Each structure stands twice: as structure tokens, then as C-alpha cells.
Amino acid sequence: MIAPVQPNADLIAAVQPLIPALRRYARALLRDRADADDLVQDVLERAMGRWHQRREAAGTRAWLFAILHNLAMDQLRRRARRGAAQPIDAVPESLLAIPPGQETAVHTGDILSLVSRLPDEHRSVLLLIGVEDLSYAEAAAVLDIPLGTVMSRLSRARERLRAMIAEEPHRAPALRIVS
Amino acid sequence: MTDAPVTETELQHYVDGRLPRDRETAVTAWLAARPEEAERIGAYRSERDALRAALAPIAGEPLPAELDLNLRRHRRPHWLSARGMTVAASIMLAFVVGGGSGWMLRDRAAPPIVGTAALAREAAASYAVYAGDAARPVEIAATGQLELDRWFSRRLSRPVKAPDLRAAGFDLIGGRLIATNFGPAGLYLYRDASGASVALYLRPMRVQGTDRMTWREEGAVRGWTWADDGLGFGVFGEMPADRLHSTADMARAQFRRA
């Protein structure tokens, strides 16, 4: 067995603050807490192994999100092949493991279940840009697509989500609360 | 640039609040004349905000030990010095105790808490101590706002002004200076008609001069932190995340305009 790689102080200072966001993106994509945390652990192992290969410090966030995104897509493809994925509508919201007790919890389940029905390419731009606050250029780097494609995907994803919300008018008031 | 046609890409930037000021003004005016477009863009913003609010709590969860890089440093036997063990033990204890009492262990727990995470703790602790103080929650009351702003500006070494949060239902009741490990911090307290308080906490940041808005839970006290231009901010209270978020947005917008 290979000895575990030791993170150096630079790596800890740069990576540790980003772990909560990585967990969030992983959980939003995989919709399972344990799977998501396992995936983040995998990302951290790889980041430690390849730390000296990363290009510049400014891009550490995009670099980590790219590693995570690619691993998550692999996992989603494996799930689809196994047929293990349940019909998306049947995935219980509890799998998202959002702590209860918040007034917004009822409403937030709605938006999460709608977003989970979007294709991965749409879901990922909404999450990377809207939730993780990546710049459009960082998102392009993470997804390995041109900037123009990021913008058109973002536009389409937002429109598609709007159409889904419009089809379910009872959900709309819940969404308005947080605007 | 103001006369340039509005593009779909700009509208997406607008949804994300990432347009330069002059184009933001142009797009706002463009939308004002086009109710259907304004409704569409408003819907995109609501989607974005709802998604952020729904996922925000995940980033506020304590990091499990498997994902804590500081613990990995101490994993191999020769790293398991007495200090390493103490550190690991106190971190475990912090996880077990959790919530409001966890922060008291911070000086002994290994990972140094800096940046907006440290600010979150200070802000939540200040809120807990002062917001509930019926006798003297503030040092200078809102009637002396000018004096208060001047005091903060001097101690924080930059112009500071209490934001107007009345649109969120909050009236300024006053403020006080807070001592922290990182120097002086300012605390503005606001209250709404129902008596609910919200604290706006700010201090200069040495490490993390810029940071995006992040959800924080410190026991029952929760809120949002961010940093702009070397100044860190926290908006904390005991109300739902979305109300705290809109209040924080309002404060951030006013500081950015200033």
C-alpha cells in the first residue's frame, strides 16, 4: 500500500477553506450525503497527489471543482449504467440531508427537486455559478467548455427551470419568499 | 457603453449581480420598459436565490474528521505526537460538544480559525451577549449615529456608516465597539417591530480580504458573512436564513455603493 500523502501547510491553507463548498456541490449533484462526502475525500486525495502539478494559485478553486465535477460525472454515469438510479421524481428529499428545523426547508425541497430533474449539464452551470459563485471563466474551466457555451447553457438552464416552475403554479409562491 | 444594446449574456450577468455599474443602470432601465422581460429576469433571480438558500446549510455543517486536512497531517505514527493527540482529541470534543459551546475551545483546538470563519464566531458571540441585553445593548444609541459612525470609522481606519435597513423592517438601535484577537470590530444592532434583533458586525480582515457570502451557524445564532475590499462583515440573528440573507444583501449593497 502506498503511504498516504501528507498535506503541506500551503495545501491546507488553500484547500481546507474550500471543502465546505466542495461538499455542497458534491451533495447537490449526487443527492446523497455519504456518497458526496466519499467523493470529496477522493478529490482531496487527488489534490494532495497532484498539488505540485496545479498551474497557478489563483485557479485552485476551479482546479478542485474540476476534479470534483469529473469524478461526480463518472459516478453518475456508473449509477445510470447500473440502473441503480431511481426515477428522479421518486428520490426522497431526505437524501439531500438538509438539516430540518428551518422555515425555508419546506420550500427549499421544491427547488431542489425541480433542479434534480434538469440534465447534468444544466444543473452544473446553475450550481457552479449561482450557488458556488464561480466566475463564468472558472465555470468554463471546470466544465472544460468555451465561455460562450457556459453562457448559453446558463441561459437555457434558467429558462427551463422557469418553465418547470410555471407548470407547477403551487410551487411558485414558495419560491417568491426568498426573492 | 450606455447606448450599447442589451444582450442576453448581460441579462445573465444581471441575474448574478455581475454587471459593471453603468451597464447595470442601463439594463435596469431597459427592463423597466419591458415588463415581460423584467418578469423573466426576476424569475431567474428568484430561482437562483431559492437554490442558494436551499443549499447554504450544507456549507455550514461541521467538517467531518475524514475531510479535515489538519487531521491527515497527524495520521502517521511519527506524527502522532502528544500534541497531535491533544489536538485530535480537542477537535473531536469540539464536534461532540458542538453548537454554541464549541467556540470556547477554539484556542486549544488545532485548526486556527481565521478569515470570515473567525469573524462569524465573534459576530455570533457578540450578538448573543448584546442583542439580549435589555439594560444596555449598545454603547451609543441610534440618536448619536453620527458620533457612532465617526467612532467606528476612526477605530476601523476607514469610512464606515450604519446601513439603512428599514426596507427590511429593521431600525438601527445603536452600536458598540468589540475587542477581538484581530483588533477592534464594530457592532451595529437593529431591531424590527416585533422586537427581533439583527447584528451587523464588521472589522478589517488581514487574511481574507474578499470572500463571498457564506452561511454560518453558530448554535442558535445564524447568519451570513462576506468580505469586500479588506473589510469583513457578518449579519447575524435568530431568524430564518432567507430573511437574514436579504438583510445581508441590503447591507452589502450599501457598503459597495459607499
Residue B149 in this model has a pLDDT that exceeds 50: yes
- Flag whether A1 is in a domain: no
Nearest 5 degrees, angle CA B256-CA B42-CA A168?
Answer: 140
| Most B CBs within 10 Å, among A46, A104, A156, to test the B interface | A104
* A6-28 mean pLDDT: 90
Instruction: Identify whether residues B149 and B214 lie together within a single domain.
Output: yes
Cell of B64: 467531518
pLDDT tens for B19-61 read: 998 899 999 999 999 999 999 999 999 999 999 989 999 998 9
Across the interface, do A179 and B63 touch by the CB < 8 Å criterion?
Answer: no
Residue with cell 431567474: B44
Specify the CATH number for the domain of residue A56. 1.20.140.160
Instruction: Identify whether residues B154 and B29 lie together within a single domain.
Output: no
pLDDT confidence band for B126 (50 / 70 / 90) = very high
Percentage, residues of chain B above pLDDT 70:
84
- Flag whether A141 is in a domain: yes
Residue A156 in this model has a pLDDT that exceeds 90: yes
CA distance B22 to B14: 12
Please check whether residue B216 is in contact with residue B235, taking contact to mean a CB–CB distance below 8 angstroms: no
Instruction: Identify whether residues B152 and B104 lie together within a single domain.
Output: no
A 21-80 → B contacts, CB under 8 A: 21, 23-24, 27-28, 37, 40-41, 44, 48
- Flag whether A25 is in a domain: yes
pLDDT tens for B82-93 read: 444 555 555 555
- Flag whether B34 is in a domain: yes
- Flag whether B89 is in a domain: yes
A 71-130 → B contacts, CB under 8 A: 98-99, 102-104, 107-112, 115, 126-127, 129-130
- Flag whether B104 is in a domain: yes
Residue B231 in this model has a pLDDT that exceeds 70: yes
| Most B CBs within 10 Å, among A108, A112, A159, to test the B interface | A108
Percentage, residues of chain A above pLDDT 90:
54
Specify the CATH number for the domain of residue B216. 3.30.200.100
Residue B103 in this model has a pLDDT that exceeds 80: no
Residue after which a domain boundary falls, among B42, B59, B76: B59
Partner residue opposite B67 with nearest CB, options A6, A40, A158: A40
What is the domain extent for residue B19? 8-59
Count of domains observed in chain A: 1
- Flag whether A39 is in a domain: yes
Distance from A152 to chain B by nearest Cα, in Å? 8
What is the domain extent for residue A46? 9-177
Amino acid A86: pLDDT = 52
Q: Which residue would you say has higher pLDDT here, A6 or B167?
A: B167
- Flag whether A4 is in a domain: no
* B203-227 mean pLDDT: 87
In this prediction, does ipTM exceed 0.95? no
Q: Could you tell me whether strands B221-228 and B231-237 are parallel, antiparallel, or unpaired per DSSP bridges? A: antiparallel
- Flag whether A104 is in a domain: yes
Count of CB pairs separated by less than 8 Å, A with B: 140
| A90 CB-side CA count, 13 A | 4
**CB-CB neighbors (< 8 A) of B242 in chain A:** 103-104, 177-178
Instruction: Identify whether residues B242 and B208 lie together within a single domain.
Output: yes
Cell of B13: 450577468
Amino acid A56: pLDDT = 62
Across the interface, do A98 and B49 touch by the CB < 8 Å criterion?
Answer: no
Instruction: Identify whether residues B119 and B187 lie together within a single domain.
Output: yes
**CB-CB neighbors (< 8 A) of B54 in chain A:** 98, 104, 107-109, 111-112
B189 three-class SS: strand
- Flag whether B3 is in a domain: no
